[in-house]
């Protein structure tokens, strides 16, 4: 049984102990049915203080920071193994927590295990640099852990986002205080329990749940917090960056997106249709990298959009527990209202609804936050519906005339997180891939990830990079030592 499989009030992880928070009681709900799936008492300001003070104490006295890299790595390998042992119950619990189809939550759990394994190896093989003698001195460049690091995460892929921050921070020798999204606290609590079971000393990992504007804010401002690794909305990210500027605290910010996916005249059309659909409608479009702006060569436009709309209408929207489901519900009733208001805005801006644009009908959908895959066209790139992040299953399609027109439109966005290019011409793919402004560019594929490849955004999509062998470095301070000879 998992820690969170209980009808009891869930304890938080604070100062190495499992205990109830002292804040308000809250429930979390299964987006597919509206049933309550978790009850907990959130943290209050005193809990935050206790978690951070304990994390700082554990940083200085638990020995975690001083352990040899291979010893920390062994613990992190055990975390990966425990996640794998419990993969199925964790995937089922994650499904209840955020309503993603089971096929997707299994992938998220596998990714979390892979992340711990990767950073265990990165920790073990991390090399300091020594420069040879320069006559009367030599230098060593060394890296030190920072102390208490905060991980603040959103609700759309909780276990993967949390692992992506906890694993490198722990590998580097830090203590971590995790603040999961209000509506999806369960996976952070499970990961903390697994870390403790694997041998991470008490106090090194804490989880404090509660409202972002109160608990997240208090964590960010705390003088003992030496770095915040944040994933979430751009407005929140900028707020955190302002606080960080006052503290001269490094931050990494993984923020919103409105990614361009581009279908060129010579694309393999069936492959492109499937890729575009996956890019926007997997995870119900609740994905920072969703390919939500589609640019199609004018010559292909009508035929491509016909095919796309027909296939989008045939996607299996339904019960996330069903293995065959391709799109589940949205996270909350309120979020669905936001999506609906964007579709209405699009229509008021002149959009045609090619498919979707409403809730599905039928008994299965009565209680869940379902919405149909939706494709709009007839808008220009400057419309608000095309420029603003909707974070739902809404794709806006626009034709383009030539490469210059395509790049001008694709790059005309405050966001620059990801992009997709569908073409058979590798030279064009290279040229456009270099010219498009985005942290990640997929060519003839979309939403594929490798933990060894850096990930992050430009402009309003964020600051800093996660993943990759050097992902561990952002959780360390660099120091140069000079040795007189
Ligand atoms: P959000 O910004 O509302 O919340 C994210 C986290 O920040 C939550 O834990 C929240 O409680 C906390 N928070 C809120 N206000 C805070 C404050 N004042 N101080 C500190 N913490 C605060 O975002 P969301 O609605 O949970 O997530 C959706 C957003 O996340 C989208 O914009 C999406 O694009 C983005 N996202 C980005 C990535 C990426 O890797 N670039 C990945 C996933 C999601």
Please indicate, yes or no, if residue 216 is contained in any of the structural domains: yes
Q: Quote the distance between the C-alpha of residue 443 and its chain's center.
A: 21
194 and 264 both lie in a single domain: no
Query: Is residue 280 within 8 Å of 395, Cβ to Cβ?
Result: yes
ipTM for the whole complex: 0.97
Nearest atom of ligand 1 to the alpha carbon of 457? 41
Q: Which of 26, 50, 36 is nearest to 181 (CA)?
A: 26
How many whole angstroms from 147 Cα to the centroid of ligand 1? 23
Distance CA 190, CA 97 (A): 12
pLDDT tens, the chain, 485 aa long:
788 887 788 999 998 899 999 999 999 999 999 999 999 999 999 999 999 999 999 999 999 999 999 999 999 999 999 999 999 999 999 999 999 999 999 999 999 999 999 999 999 988 777 777 777 888 888 999 999 999 999 999 999 999 999 999 999 999 999 999 999 999 999 999 999 999 999 999 999 999 999 999 999 999 999 999 999 999 999 999 999 999 999 999 999 999 999 999 999 999 999 999 999 999 999 999 999 999 999 999 999 999 999 999 999 999 999 999 999 999 999 999 999 999 999 999 999 999 999 999 999 999 999 999 999 999 999 999 999 999 999 999 999 999 999 999 999 999 999 999 999 999 999 999 999 999 999 999 999 999 999 999 999 999 999 999 889 999 999 999 998 88
Q: Flag whether 99 is in a domain.
A: yes
| 24 CA distance to ligand 1 middle (Å) | 21
With a 6 Å cutoff on the Cβ, whether 212 touches ligand 1 is yes
Backbone φ and ψ of 255, nearest 5°: -115, -155
Q: Are residues 276 and 418 in the same domain?
A: yes
Ligand 1 atom 16: the closest Cα is on which residue? 212
What CATH number does the domain containing 186 carry?
3.40.605.10
How far away, in angstroms, is 321 Cα from ligand 1 center?
A: 26
Asked if residue 152 has its Cβ within 6 Å of ligand 1, the reply is yes
What was the pLDDT predicted at 1?
A: 78
442, 448 Cβ separation under 8 angstroms? yes
Closest listed residue to residue 243, CA positions, set 220, 219, 225, 214 = 220
Indicate whether 336 and 222 sit together in one domain.
no
User: Do 155 and 225 share a domain, yes or no?
Assistant: yes
239 burial (CB, 10 Å; 0-12 / 13-18 / 19+) is middle
Cα dihedral across residues 5, 11, 12, 17: positive or negative: negative
Q: What is the pLDDT of residue 469?
A: 82
Residue entry with tokens 């603003």: 388
Q: Write down the residue that tokens 């040795």 correspond to.
A: 483
Does residue 4 lie in a domain region? no
Does some domain include residue 3? no
Domain CATH code at residue 338: 3.40.309.10
Using a 10 angstrom Cβ sphere, with 0-12 exposed, 13-18 middle and 19 or more buried, the burial of residue 431 is middle
Residue with token string 């804010």: 217
In a domain, 157, yes or no: yes
Nearest CA to ligand 1 atom 32: 233
The finding on whether 288 has its CB within 6 A of some atom of ligand 1 is yes
Residues 235 and 267 in one domain: no
Task: Give the 3-state secondary structure percentages of the chain, helix then strand then coil, rounded to 5.
Answer: 40, 20, 35
Identify the burial level of 177 via C-beta atoms within 10 angstroms of its C-beta, where 0-12 means exposed, 13-18 middle and 19 or more buried: buried
19 part of a folded domain: yes
Determine if ligand 1 sits within 6 Å of the CB of residue 255: yes
Distance 252 CA to ligand 1 centre (A): 13
Paired sense of beta strands 293-297 and 394-400, if any: parallel
* DSSP at 284: G
Helix, coil or strand: residue 402 = coil
Query: CA-CA distance, 288 to 302, in Å (whole number)?
Result: 28
End-to-end alpha carbon distance in the chain:
60
Domain count, the chain: 2
Q: Does a structural domain hold residue 452?
A: no
312 is in which domain, residue-wise?
Answer: 260-443
Whether residue 1 is contained in a domain is answered as no
Same domain, 266 and 248: no
Pocket of ligand 1 contains residue 457 by CB under 6 Å: yes
Active site residues: 254
Burial tier of 292 (Cβ tally within 10 Å: 0-12, 13-18, 19+): buried
Answer yes or no: are the C-beta atoms of 79 and 194 closer than 8 Å.
Answer: yes
DSSP letters spanning 299-344: TTHHHHHHHHHHHHHTS-B--TTSTT-SB---S-HHHHHHHHHHHH
């Amino acid at each position: 049984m998992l820690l969170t499989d209980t009808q009891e009030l869930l304890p938080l992880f604070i100062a190495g102990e499992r205990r109830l928070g002292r804040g308000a009681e809250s429930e979390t709900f299964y987006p597919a049915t509206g049933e309550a799936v978790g009850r907990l008492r959130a943290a209050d300001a005193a809990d935050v203080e206790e978690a951070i003070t304990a994390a700082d104490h554990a940083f200085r006295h638990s020995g975690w920071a001083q352990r040899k890299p291979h010893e920390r790595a062994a613990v992190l390998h055990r975390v990966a193994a425990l996640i794998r042992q419990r993969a199925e119950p964790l995937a089922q619990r994650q499904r209840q927590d955020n309503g993603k189809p089971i096929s997707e939550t299994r992938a998220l759990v596998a990714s979390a295990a892979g992340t711990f394994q990767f950073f265990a190896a990165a920790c073990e093989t991390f090399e300091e640099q020594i420069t040879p003698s320069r006559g009367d001195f030599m230098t060593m460049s060394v890296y030190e852990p920072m102390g208490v690091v905060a991980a603040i995460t959103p609700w759309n892929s909780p276990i993967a986002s949390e692992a992506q921050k906890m694993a490198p921070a722990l590998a580097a020798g830090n203590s971590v205080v995790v603040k999961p999204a209000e509506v999806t606290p369960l996976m952070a609590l499970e990961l903390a329990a697994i870390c403790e079971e694997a041998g991470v000393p008490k106090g090194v990992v804490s989880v404090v749940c509660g409202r972002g504007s109160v608990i997240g804010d208090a964590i960010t401002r705390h003088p003992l917090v030496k770095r915040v690794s944040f994933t979430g909305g751009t407005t929140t990210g900028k707020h955190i960056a302002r606080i960080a500027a006052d503290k001269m605290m490094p931050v990494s910010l993984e923020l919103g997106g409105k990614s361009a996916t581009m279908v060129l005249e010579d694309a393999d059309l069936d492959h492109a249709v499937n890729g575009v659909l996956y890019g926007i409608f997997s995870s119900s479009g609740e994905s920072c990298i969703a390919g939500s702006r589609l640019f199609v060569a004018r010559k292909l436009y009508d035929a491509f959009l016909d095919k796309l709309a027909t296939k989008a209408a045939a996607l299996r929207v339904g019960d996330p527990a069903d293995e065959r489901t391709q799109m589940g519900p949205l996270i909350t009733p309120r979020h669905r209202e936001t999506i609906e208001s964007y579709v209405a805005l699009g229509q008021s801006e002149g959009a045609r609804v090619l498919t979707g644009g409403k809730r599905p009908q039928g008994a299965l959908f009565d209680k869940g936050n379902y919405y149909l895959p939706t494709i709009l066209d007839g808008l220009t790139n400057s419309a608000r519906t095309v420029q603003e992040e909707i974070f739902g299953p809404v794709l806006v399609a626009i034709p383009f005339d030539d490469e210059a027109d395509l790049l001008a439109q694709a790059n005309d966005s405050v966001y620059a997180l990801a992009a997709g290019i569908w073409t058979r011409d590798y030279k064009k793919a290279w040229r456009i891939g270099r010219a498009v402004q985005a942290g990640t560019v997929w060519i003839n594929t979309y939403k594929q990830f490798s933990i060894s490849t850096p990930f992050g955004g430009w402009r309003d999509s964020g600051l800093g990079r996660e993943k990759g062998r050097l992902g561990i470095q952002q959780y360390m301070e660099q120091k140069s030592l000079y040795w007189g000879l």
